[in-house]
Structure formats: C-alpha cells, structure tokens
Amino acid sequence: MASAPSKLYSDDVSLVVVLLDTNPFFWSSSYFSFTQFLSHVFAFLNAILTMNQLNQVVVIATGYNTCDYLYDSSLTSNQSFGNGRMPALCGILLQNLEEFFIKDEKLSKQETDGRIACSLLSGSLSMALCYIQRVFRSGTLHPQPRILCLQGSPDGPEQYVAIMNAIFSAQRSMIPIDSCYIGAQNSAFLQQASYITGGVHHKPQQLDGLFQYLMTIFGTDLHSRNFLQLPKPVGVDFRASCFCHKNTIDMGYICSVCLSIFCKHQKKCSTCGSVFGQAQSDDASAENRKRKAPDS
C-alpha cells in the first residue's frame, strides 16, 4: 500500500510515538527498577510537550503477550485535563498502565514453555505505523512523525519477519525509528531499525542519567538534528533469524524467490514452495538417466 502524502506544520513540530517496554520478566531481573525508568520517561514526555505547543506524544505499551495504547496527547479528553502536562500526564499513564498490566498478566497464564522472555516489539511497531498512517490520511496538517523504542528485553527471533516488514514500511514512509536500549546485551533488531530508517540508536552506559540521554539525543526535532553531532552507528549487527528454527545465524541458505532464510539446507522452501538447487539437480540426474536408458 502506498504511503499517504505528508502535510507538515513546520520543521520543528514533532509527533513522537514512544514504544514503552513493560515486560515483567525483564524488569524483575533488572537492577534499574521500572519505577525509576518511568520517572525519567515521564519527565521526557513532558519536556517534548512543553518545547512546542503543537508537539504530540503517543505512548504504546510493549508487553510480553500484547500491546496497547496508553496515552495520546491529541485526544480531547487528555487536552482538557491539565493540557497534557504533568501531573495530569502521569496520572493518565499510570492508570492505563495498571489496566494494561492486568490484561497482559491474564494472557501470560496461556504462555508456552520454553519461550524467550522477549517483548512483542513487532506488534507495537505495527501499531505505531498504523497510527502514523492514519495521521497522514487525516487531511489536515500534522507534525513530523518519528518512533522512539525504549526497549530492555532481548530480541525475539520468532518476530524477525514481522519486525523487518515494519522496518521497511517505516523506511518507505520516511519515518525514522529511534531506539534506546537499556538491557544488558544490545539489540540487533533495533540497531537495524535505526540504521535502515535513518534514526538514532544508543545504549546508555549510566541509566541513572537516562533523562539526559533522552533529551540530548532523542528530544530534538528532525530538522535540528542536521546541526547536531548525534551518535553514529558503529558495528551494526546485521545478523538475521532463520525461518525454520527462529535462531539468529551468521551464515545460512536464502531462497532466491522469496528471500526466506534457513540455517540448514532444505529440499523445498517452506514459504513459497520453490525447489532448491540440490533437489533440482537430483531431478535432472533422474531425467538424464531415463533418456540414456534406451541407448544402453
């Protein structure tokens, strides 16, 4: 589907869609508590809304089993209650977060054994892109959109295809995906997302100063970034996940028809049904033997 034409206000007005990692498995094992994390994020969101009265903020929760909208500063109900500023913003977000945790916990009872404790990043990215496309098609002027992923959970290899589809969709719509990873290991998915879409990826070294990182790196609008020295991608992890076992691999086999990736040689592509080279060679050898049989 073609992207809708963009009609911007001015180059310093922003629509920031924040993807908030709420995975309880990650936060229960992190030395940086979820309460501390929220205090920095709330201050950052309030600063974004304060810098320009036309700025908009949308917050999407990235849970373990589901995703949902937590806050939208453009809604009339939020604008009328404290003009979208703290402490009104905190009150609305905390109330919606509590309801989201209850819903996500109910779904966790149905989880399968052996699943990686990763967040549903593919779902929140899709929701963010759908929201921005809806803004594009609103017919009115709108701010310059960008997505900010605040992630701590590890990558989920089973989400590779969905996440890459979301990344290429954002690239086509010229929507930068910024990423701030606060987990122990870096995220290959977020590195690729920021690199491909022209966003900024950063892994803070001191989480106690998370608010300073958010403001100095991710708080500026897209136009102002042209005049700043922001972190540049270094050593981006471009490894992919195989379609057969959902494992991250360094080398693999790629289907020349649909570009599906496999860690081991397959006789047939499980995605598009194409027959791979070895199987084709075997078929050709059998056909040649049939043709040579009468001569012998």
pLDDT in tens, 170-180: 999 999 999 99
Give 206-263 pLDDT, tens digit per residue.
999 999 999 999 999 998 898 888 888 777 777 777 777 667 777 888 887 777 788 8
Query: Based on the domain organization, do 250 and 275 belong to the same domain?
Result: yes
Query: Based on the domain organization, do 245 and 119 belong to the same domain?
Result: no
Query: Based on the domain organization, do 225 and 260 belong to the same domain?
Result: no
- 132 is a domain residue: yes
- 203 is a domain residue: yes
Burial class (CB within 10 angstroms; exposed 0-12, middle 13-18, buried 19+) of 61:
buried
For the chain, the domain total comes to 2
Helices (H) and strands (E) in the chain, counts: 9, 10
Q: Which residues is 14 bridged to in the sheet?
A: 144
19 or 10, which is more confident: 19
Burial class (CB within 10 angstroms; exposed 0-12, middle 13-18, buried 19+) of 76:
exposed
- pLDDT of residue 87 exceeding 70, the answer is no
The residue out of 231, 266, 283 marking a domain boundary is 231
- 1 is a domain residue: no
Question: In which domain, by residue range, is 263 found?
Answer: 241-292
Query: Based on the domain organization, do 226 and 145 belong to the same domain?
Result: yes
Cα torsion through 194, 199, 201, 204, rounded to 10: -150
Sign of CA dihedral 170, 207, 13, 47: positive
Query: Based on the domain organization, do 154 and 73 belong to the same domain?
Result: yes
How long is the chain?
296
- 7 is a domain residue: no
- 9 is a domain residue: no
- 226 is a domain residue: yes
* Cα 149 from Cα 18, distance rounded (Å): 6
* Cα 61 from Cα 20, distance rounded (Å): 5
* Cα 20 from Cα 116, distance rounded (Å): 19
What is the secondary structure of 122-146 as a DSSP string? HHHHHHHHHHHHHHHTTSS-BPEEE
Query: Based on the domain organization, do 251 and 216 belong to the same domain?
Result: no
Query: Based on the domain organization, do 257 and 227 belong to the same domain?
Result: no
List Cβ<8 Å contacts ≥24 apart for 83-88: 84/49, 84/57, 85/46, 85/49, 85/50, 86/42, 86/43, 86/46
The residue out of 178, 211, 231 marking a domain boundary is 231
Query: Based on the domain organization, do 93 and 114 belong to the same domain?
Result: yes
Give 122-132 pLDDT, tens digit per residue.
999 999 999 99
Query: Based on the domain organization, do 168 and 283 belong to the same domain?
Result: no
The residue out of 205, 231, 257 marking a domain boundary is 231
Query: Based on the domain organization, do 180 and 282 belong to the same domain?
Result: no
- Note if the bond before 24 is cis, omega within 30 degrees: no
